[in-house]
């Protein structure tokens, strides 16, 4: 396999893997709307923001998956993921919360790389 195909395949796989997580998370929040809204409110976040969260996760995830306006979606999802780390996973006295915090930081980093480098050639908005 030549280097270009490997790079394109790797970029598509990376975009797909990170996007699927957000698409699934947004979709699951629809079915568990009241529970998610209650959890947000218990953490001091207005529950009325949940539709915005769902839209960002679903639409942003789909945009990253197909490579449409990827840089914008990646930038927004990087910020969202960083903020959720701070707002929901900053109780470092609990090992699981620290792990989730670090996971969110890593995901934010991946989105920032996608923001800088773009979606690659196998994308709706590719620059062939």
Would 128 be classed as within a structural domain?
no
In total, how many domains does the chain have? 1
Tokens 């480098």 belong to which residue?
Answer: 117
**In the chain, what percentage of residues exceed pLDDT 70?**
98
Would 122 be classed as within a structural domain?
no
Would 124 be classed as within a structural domain?
no
**Amino acid 1: pLDDT:** 75
Domain encompassing residue 22: 3-117
Entry pTM: 0.95
Average pLDDT along the chain: 96
**Amino acid 126: pLDDT:** 81
Would 26 be classed as within a structural domain?
yes
Would 90 be classed as within a structural domain?
yes
CA-wise closest residue to 29 among 64, 70, 80: 80
Would 54 be classed as within a structural domain?
yes
**Amino acid 30: pLDDT:** 98
The tokens of 38 are what? Answer: 């209650």
Tens-place pLDDT, residues 19-43: 999 999 999 999 999 999 999 999 9
- Report the C-alpha gap between 127 and 46 in whole angstroms: 40
Tens-place pLDDT, residues 53-83: 999 999 999 999 999 999 999 999 999 999 9
Tell me the average pLDDT across 106-114.
98
* 128 has a pLDDT exceeding 70: no
CA-wise closest residue to 65 among 116, 3, 11, 6: 11
């Amino acid at each position: 396999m030549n280097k270009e195909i490997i790079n394109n395949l790797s970029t598509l796989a990376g975009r797909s893997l990170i996007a699927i997580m957000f698409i699934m998370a947004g979709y699951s929040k629809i079915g568990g709307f009241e529970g998610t809204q209650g959890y947000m409110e218990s953490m001091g976040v207005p529950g009325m923001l949940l539709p915005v969260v769902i839209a960002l996760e679903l639409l942003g995830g789909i945009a990253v998956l197909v490579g449409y306006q990827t840089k914008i979606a990646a930038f927004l999802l990087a910020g969202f993921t960083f903020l959720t780390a701070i707002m929901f996973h900053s109780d470092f006295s609990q090992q699981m919360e620290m792990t989730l915090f670090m996971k969110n930081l890593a995901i934010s980093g991946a989105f920032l790389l996608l923001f800088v480098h773009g979606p690659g050639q196998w994308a709706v908005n590719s620059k062939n």
